[in-house]
Every structure is written in structure tokens, then in C-alpha cells.
Structure 1
């Protein structure tokens, strides 16, 4: 009989394309992956891996079994979801991921609520940029991810994932307090055409959105500084080294010397949760989505009251 954990290892190899990638995704050593694959080859009586330069590739038999493994693991997920739903209890372990400002702005309240309402549920979390978080959900490395869309640039979400809206996050521009545009009711992005920008690292989804949006407004931006952590971006603005986009979620406390002004035509990003459709009936997933929505609603109330 085929061993489920060895099929999980084969599935990880097929998805990651390497022994090291599979080991990282499964949180085991590369030797553990190699040992599991050697045992699986003995079980099926066929070669599943072949050398490919310094790495390995799946043989025809390996690819065939990997396709079945993916379906088997999906059915196992469905069975687990059905059993949890039938029991109706929020128990076990739930793994979540989110982009940094969502971790900062949502997760503390969400995890506190889950601990109070469902003490038998264990929660683990990690920071991941949206595209990486979606991939982690697909691979099964996390159960649920909080990701984002920009109003004019949606994040691709593959089939097989369910999603739920959490909140819309208004976007402002952060300026040094001595900037001549401070005090305005709103700013047109074209007024910042000559400004040095503080942006996200090149290649990240938010960085690509910023370039796309500024160029759509006829601006070829001068990116003076790049920083992944948003409070680092704000610290650079506080030093008078440029301007940056400042979403409200997870932004406080603002550093001294920085002021924000809304962007004309209401720029915003939509924050939502994604998870595998075959886990849709898991009470722990539903409890987490409910807690995220409640935290998102509280964020909206704070904003309406002026507590950005």
C-alpha cells in the first residue's frame, strides 16, 4: 500500500521542482526527502527520479504517480474538512500567512479573538508577500493567507482557491512635514512627478503596482530608495529623502516629521483571505475568516472616526 507521507513528498518534489525546494516546503531536511523517495521507489518497484545535471527530474512514472498523489492529497484534505465539519469543533492547528502590514494591523486582534473563542485551536503565522502567500496556500504550506489587490491591478488567484473580502484600505501619500503640499485636502499623483520616491523592493507586487500606476499618470518615477518594511519607508520620508505611498492598515504609530495627504480619485487596496477550496468546510478556516472580518470592520470604524 502506498504511504501517504511519501506521496506528500513526491507531490512536493513535483511542485517545487527540486529536492531542496521540497525539503523547504515540507520543513524537513534534504536527506529526509531523498530517503522518503527511495522508500517510495521500492514500494512501487519503479524509478521515479532521474539525475538532471546537479539536480533531479521526475521520470514518466514519477510524473504519473505525482498526478495521482495530488488528487489523493486533495481527497484527504476534503475528508479532513468533512470530519471537522461533522464534529463542528474548532480544534487542531491552523497556519496563516499575510503581508507585513496585515500581520501588524490585523493578526494581533485576530489571534487574541481566536484564543479566547477557540482555546483548542493552535495558530501559527508567518509574513509573506501576496504572490508568495498564494503559492504557499496552493502548496499546502499554509492553510489561509491574507493577500491584497490594488484597485487597478488585481493579484492573480488560481482556480481551486476560495476567497473572502476583509476590508478596503485607503491609500495616502506620506510627505515630510515641511513639504509644500502638506495641508492639502488631496493630491493628484501628477503633482509628484519630480519627487524622489521611496518604494518597495524591485519585483514585489506592490512595487510593480506603484510603477504601473505612476506611469499610467504620465510619470516615469525616480526611485531613490527601496525598503520592504513600511515603517522603514516612513523613516526615510521623515528624514526628507522622498515621498512614499502610505496605506492606513498597520501604519501607526507614524514617525515624527511625517504627514499624509489623501490621493485624489480615491486610491485603495482590497484586502482578502484565500484558502484551498477543498478545505472550505473546516471550522477552523471559517473561524479565522470570521475573526479577520471582525478585525477588518473594527479598522473601518476607527477610520470613520478619524483614527487612521
Structure 2
């Protein structure tokens, strides 16, 4: 009979692409991974990995068994989640990732509440963009992620993931206090065509929205973090489009004006469908919702 833990090691090697990656994922040594793989090859009577340069790759038999292992481990996770639900236990370890704004605005409050309510639950958090976090959840490298997409530009979620909406976040225009438009109650795209902009890097949501909707947009400066963008706005170096979630005071006064037909992003939590029944998933999602600002 095949050993479940050895199949878990094979799945980790397949998921991460290396013995080192598998060891990090499983929190064991590389020698332990190699030993488990050797024993699994003895049990199956076939080679599961082969050398490729300085690393390894799965053989055809290894790839076949890794696929079966993934299905088996998913079933085991589903069974364990169901049993945890039956007992109502909120225990164990859980890993969560969030994109930077949500990590700053939601995670501190949510994690504090979880620690107070569920002392036997350990939640480890990291900052990670959705394009990295979603595959990591699917592959089992994370238990849950807070991600975002924009109205009209939905984030494609792979099969096997569940999700729950946390909030809709609206964007406003940030202007220097002495800007000619600073006193306007609302602004339209037509008002902003000739402005110099401060925005995120090429490829990020704000940048893509800007170049798509304002054809003549002149991008003067780029910065990944919104506090940096606001500091540049406060210095009179341009204007920016900034989300309301997690908005922080700038280094100097900045005026905010609502934008007609402003873009909105949807913020939501995702996790593997096989772990939906885990009480810990439910309480973490509830804590995230509680941490969301009231609209």
C-alpha cells in the first residue's frame, strides 16, 4: 500500500518543481524529501524522478502518480475539513496572503481579533499580489488569499477555488491643495486629459486603467505604494487615482475629489474548495469582513 505522507512529498516536489522547494513547503530537510522519494520509488517499483541539469524532473510515471496524489490529497483535505466542521474545532495553522493595500488596511485588525478569539489557531500572513497568490492557494502553498479585480475586468479563478466578496472599493482623484481643480465637488475624465499623472507601474491595475481611459495621459512618476503616490501629489508633482481602502494621510495636505463613473475594484477572499468546511477558513473570512471599513 502506498504511504500517504510519501505521496504528499511527491505532490510537493511536483508543485514546487524541486526538492528544495518541497522541503520548504513541508518544513523538512532536503535529505528527508530525498529519502521519502527513494522509498516511494521502492514501493512503486519505478523511477519517479530523473536528473535535469543540477535539478530534477518527474518521469512520465512520476507525473502520472503526482496527478493521482493530488486528487487523493484533495479528498483527504475535504475529509479532514468535514471532520473539523463536525467537531467545531478552530485550531491549527493557516497561511494567508493579501495584496499590499489590503494587507495594510485589513490584516492587522483581522489577525488581532482572531488571536483574541481563537488562541489555538495560528495565522501567518504575507504580502503578495493576486497573480502570485491565486496559484499559490490552488497549489496548496497558501490556505487563503485576499485578492482584487476591477469592474469589467474580472479576475479569472481556476477550478477548485471558492471565494467570498469582502467589499467594493471606489477610487477618487488626489490633487495638490493648490491645484486648479481642487475645489470641484466632482471631476470627469474630460477634466483630466491634460494632467500629469502619478500612478503605479506598467502592468498594474491603476496604470492599465489610466492608459486605457485617458489616451493623452502623461505619466510623470510611478510608485507602487499609495502613500508614496500621495506624497508626490502633495509636493505638487501631479495627480493620482487612489482607492479609499486603507487611505493614509499624505506628508502634506491633499485634496480628494470623487470621479464621475469612477472605477471600482472588488476585494474578495479565495480558498480551495476542498477546505471550505474547515472552521478556520470560515472564521478568518468573517474576521476579514469585520475589518472592512463601513461604506
State the TM-score, normalized to the length of structure 1: 0.86
- Structure 1 residue 35: deviation in Å? 4.3
Asked if 1 retains the 8 angstrom alpha-carbon contact of 2:234 and 2:250, the reply is no
Give the 5 Å matches for 1:1-308.
1-26=1-26, 33-203=33-203, 207=204, 209-296=205-292, 299-300=293-294, 303=295
Q: Which moved more, 1:20-29 or 1:164-173?
A: 20-29
Stretches of structure 2 that go unaligned for 5 or more consecutive residues are: none
Task: Report the CA distance shift for 1:177/1:278 in structure 2 as closer, same or farther (over 3 A).
Answer: same
Indicate the RMSD between aligned Cα atoms, in angstroms.
Answer: 2.3
Q: Alignment partner of 1:42: what SS? A: helix
Aligned counterparts of 1:211 and 1:113: Cα–Cα separation in 2: 34
Asked if 2 retains the 8 angstrom alpha-carbon contact of 1:9 and 1:33, the reply is yes
Asked if 2 retains the 8 angstrom alpha-carbon contact of 1:97 and 1:126, the reply is yes
Q: Alignment partner of 1:223: what SS? A: strand
Q: Alignment partner of 1:264: what SS? A: coil
Asked if 2 retains the 8 angstrom alpha-carbon contact of 1:151 and 1:267, the reply is yes
Asked if 2 retains the 8 angstrom alpha-carbon contact of 1:190 and 1:217, the reply is no
Stretches of structure 1 that go unaligned for 5 or more consecutive residues are: 304-308
- Structure 1 residue 98: deviation in Å? 0.7
- Structure 1 residue 29: deviation in Å? 5.7
- Structure 1 residue 272: deviation in Å? 0.8
- Structure 1 residue 151: deviation in Å? 1.3
Q: Which moved more, 1:3-12 or 1:87-96?
A: 3-12
Asked if 2 retains the 8 angstrom alpha-carbon contact of 1:47 and 1:62, the reply is yes
- Structure 1 residue 226: deviation in Å? 2.8
Aligned counterparts of 1:210 and 1:153: Cα–Cα separation in 2: 12
Structure 1: 4+ residue segments shifted above 6 A: none
Q: Which moved more, 1:66-75 or 1:238-247?
A: 238-247
- Structure 1 residue 28: deviation in Å? 5.3
- Structure 1 residue 167: deviation in Å? 0.8
Task: Report the CA distance shift for 1:192/1:12 in structure 2 as closer, same or farther (over 3 A).
Answer: farther
- Structure 1 residue 141: deviation in Å? 1.6
Q: Alignment partner of 2:171: what SS? A: strand
Q: Which moved more, 1:124-133 or 1:255-264?
A: 255-264
